[in-house]
Structure formats: C-alpha cells, structure tokens
C-alpha cells in the first residue's frame, strides 16, 4: 500500500476546517454549532499530526493530545450552558437567544 503524503492530509484537514467554519457561520442551532467547532478542532489536530509525521517528530501528536483535552473541557462547559439555556428558554435557536445581549 502506498504511503499517504503529508500534502494530501493537509488538504483534507483544510477541507474539514472549511466545512466546520461553514457550519458555525450558517447553522442556527447551538448544538450544530458546537459540532462544527469540534470538526474544526479535529482538523487542526489532523494538521498537527501530519506535520509531525512529515518531520518525524512526536510534537504533532503531543499537540493533538492538548487539542483533545481542550475540546473535552470545551464540550463539558458548552453542553452545561446549552442544557441551562434550553431549560430556561425552551429553544436552542440562536436567533431567539439574541435578546440575552440586552
């Protein structure tokens, strides 16, 4: 089986990042926005691992572990906020939550 080049993996990571960014910008549901942020974080981790493999250094994998830890913390806090918002407002639509700014 032929090895996968770092350039190919970086292109896949860029495509995933753009898809995640599009999801954050276009979705109105908070849960879908959180999923899109997770896709963006995973694409960044994929890019780190590909770069580390390209230069044969473990730094990319170490950075990916930090990204996973940060994503886990972000998900736990964000889901707690989502549950609290849903409990108070009975909706996860971002347009209905804009009145919270006032």
What CATH architecture does domain 6-90 belong to?
A: Orthogonal Bundle (1.10)
Q: Identify the sign of the CA torsion 53, 58, 59, 63.
A: positive
Q: Where are the domains of the chain?
A: 6-90
What is the pTM assigned to this prediction?
0.85
Q: What is the full per-residue pLDDT of the chain (102 aa) written as tens digits?
A: 767 888 999 999 999 999 999 999 999 888 899 999 999 999 999 999 999 998 889 999 999 999 999 999 999 999 998 888 888 888 877 877 776 665
Q: Are 81 and 100 in contact (CB under 8 A)?
A: no
Answer for the pair 43, 17: CB distance below 8 angstroms, yes or no. yes
């Amino acid at each position: 089986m032929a090895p996968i080049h770092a350039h190919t993996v970086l292109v896949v990571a860029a495509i995933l990042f753009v898809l995640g960014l599009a999801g954050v910008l276009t979705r109105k549901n908070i849960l879908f926005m959180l999923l899109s942020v997770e896709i963006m974080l995973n694409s960044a981790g994929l890019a780190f691992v590909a770069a580390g493999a390209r230069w044969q250094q473990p730094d990319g994998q170490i950075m990916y572990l930090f990204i996973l830890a940060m994503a886990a913390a972000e998900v736990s806090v964000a889901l707690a906020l989502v549950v609290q918002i849903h409990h108070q407002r009975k909706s996860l639509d971002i347009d209905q939550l804009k009145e919270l700014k006032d």
